[in-house]
């Protein structure tokens, strides 16, 4: 069954597996209001369909000279003061990163996942990536912080030292290192991540679905203890920085494709 949840998010179910596709390739699949609402709707559809047991989340990179899974928040929306349109009440950023779910989601990455794009990846359950993929939190380059889970989820996966290196420099972790560190569960050749994610989803769907969900719930609970406190801290810092001169400068410099001129204010 195919269902275009919106132009920006596609949903297709076949057997026990649903494929959700971010579909803003011209905008590097950046999250705008349509993506947030569409992704939340897709998760609703997956969760409410008793015949669908596993989800695969991927992205359309057609026409991109350098493939991008997701570039994070649409900075035009932030600059316009429309940050809240990128959130939903149940899912947070992209309608997904803090969404309570029962069914496992495998994310297929074939390119760059940066800023909120990496936070979407970290909110999924398993990551299949191609060798041309990379994973970063570039917020410090815009005088922002990764307030949608990245600052506490990335250290849990790759360790504090590696995470701080990536977070404080804004430089991404390449796919081979991400695989060695455990962020990526399966590493494949370029163009093969979606197919491999489907193979993994089929293996999961072949197992007992209730046992899969129960096992996932326990593992996730162990990995996300005290997220509420960490989320509140992330939100506080994000909001504190949002109204500063340097945030405006960082966003403007990005749009103008020039190095930012920081003032510390």
Return d(Cα 134, Cα 157) in angstroms, integer: 15
> Among the options 40, 139, 192, 196, which is catalytic?
139
Return d(Cα 206, Cα 194) in angstroms, integer: 18
C-alpha pair distances (Å), 244 with each of 134, 247, 262: 29, 5, 11
Q: Is 171 a catalytic residue?
A: no
Q: Is 249 a catalytic residue?
A: no
Return d(Cα 167, Cα 245) in angstroms, integer: 21
> Among the options 119, 171, 196, 225, which is catalytic?
119
CB atoms within 10 A of CB 163: 22
Task: Give the DSSP letter string of 13-32.
Answer: EETTEEEEEE--GGGTT-B-
Catalytic residues, by residue number, are 119, 139
């Amino acid at each position: 069954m195919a269902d275009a949840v919106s132009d920006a998010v596609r949903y297709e179910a076949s057997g026990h597996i649903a494929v959700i596709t971010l579909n803003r390739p011209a905008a590097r699949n950046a999250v705008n209001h349509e993506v947030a609402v569409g992704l939340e709707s897709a998760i609703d559809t997956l969760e409410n369909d008793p015949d669908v047991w596993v989800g695969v989340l991927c992205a359309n990179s057609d026409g991109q000279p350098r493939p991008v899974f997701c570039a994070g928040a649409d900075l035009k929306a932030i600059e316009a003061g429309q940050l809240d349109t990128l959130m939903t009440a149940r899912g947070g950023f992209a309608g997904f990163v803090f969404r309570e779910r029962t069914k496992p989601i495998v994310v297929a990455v074939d390119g760059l996942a940066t800023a909120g794009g990496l936070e979407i990846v970290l909110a999924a359950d398993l990551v299949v990536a191609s060798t041309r993929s990379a994973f970063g939190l570039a917020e410090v380059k815009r005088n922002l912080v990764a307030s949608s889970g990245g600052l506490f989820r990335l250290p849990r996966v790759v360790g504090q030292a590696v995470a701080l290196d990536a977070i404080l420099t804004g430089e991404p972790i390449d796919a081979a290192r991400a695989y060695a560190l455990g962020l990526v569960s399966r590493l494949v050749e370029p163009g093969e991540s979606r197919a491999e994610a489907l193979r993994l989803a089929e293996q999961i769907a072949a197992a007992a679905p209730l046992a899969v969900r129960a096992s996932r719930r326990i593992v996730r609970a162990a990995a996300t203890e005290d997220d509420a406190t960490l989320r509140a801290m992330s939100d506080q810092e994000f909001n504190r920085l949002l109204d500063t001169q340097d945030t405006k400068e960082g966003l403007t410099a990005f749009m103008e494709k020039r190095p930012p001129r920081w003032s510390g204010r």
